[in-house]
Amino acid sequence: MKFLFDVFPVILFFVTFKWGEGHTATAQAYVEKYLSSLVSGGVSSAELAPIMLATAVTLVASICQISYLLIRRQKVDAMLWISFIIIMVFGGATIYFHSDTFIKWKPSILYWCYCGAFLLAQFVFKKNLIRTAMESQVKLPEQIWGKLSLAWTAYFFLMGVLNLWVAFNFSTDTWANFKLISMVGIMPAFIIIQSLFLSKYMTEAE
């Protein structure tokens, strides 16, 4: 449930974008009606209407996501705050400048922020973020915690590079597909592979 909650804005982005592609005229009408005052020059093209609308929906979903946690007085994870700030900045820039470049950069910036956080924690503050998050559920040798941290660091860095490669070498439609797959396909697969790797050590510990 937490995973679905975290990826909720991404799923809404994908669904809205796909709907907008199939209903371009309606999507443009919505953008002109609700977003024209936020667009520099107040002009919106039909070509960019689907991604503009999807970005706006994502902004609203992210605000609702954070507000829900705050109202219920639940802890908002640091990574969720980082994601919220980045989508507000790059999503807002996408709408204001009427350009999909910003929203396409957003996943890479987010991945690299995570990558930087892992590196900073491990090599500056001598703190392993993976160990902090998982130590209460699993006990592992010190060197394995270090390998896990480096694996996640490499994962976030490479995903940031891969996102830009797809974003600027393929169509926006392909990029939107990749954006969803990276969250609901690639990341879970990466976690499963790690779980299989960790099971060896947990078995040995037993």
| C-alpha span between 141 and 120 (Å, rounded) | 21
What local confidence, expressed as pLDDT, does residue 175 receive? Answer: 97
| C-alpha span between 36 and 181 (Å, rounded) | 31
Query: Is the per-residue pLDDT at 28 higher than 50?
Result: yes
Q: What is the pLDDT of residues 42-100, one digit of tens each?
A: 777 889 999 999 999 999 999 999 999 999 999 898 889 999 999 999 999 999 999 99
What local confidence, expressed as pLDDT, does residue 176 receive? Answer: 96
Report residue 168 as tokens: 């600027």
Around Cβ 90, how many Cβ atoms within 10 Å?
Answer: 20
Query: Is the per-residue pLDDT at 204 higher than 60?
Result: no
| C-alpha span between 41 and 191 (Å, rounded) | 45
Report residue 96 as tokens: 């204001």
pTM over 0.85: yes
Q: What is the pLDDT of residues 101-160, one digit of tens each?
A: 999 999 999 999 999 999 999 889 888 988 888 877 778 888 888 899 999 999 999 999
Q: Is residue 90 within 8 Å of residue 109, measured between CB atoms?
A: yes
What local confidence, expressed as pLDDT, does residue 160 receive? Answer: 97
Quick one: average pLDDT of 198-205?
A: 63
| C-alpha span between 13 and 16 (Å, rounded) | 5
Q: Where residue 205 falls among pLDDT bands split at 50, 70, 90?
A: very low
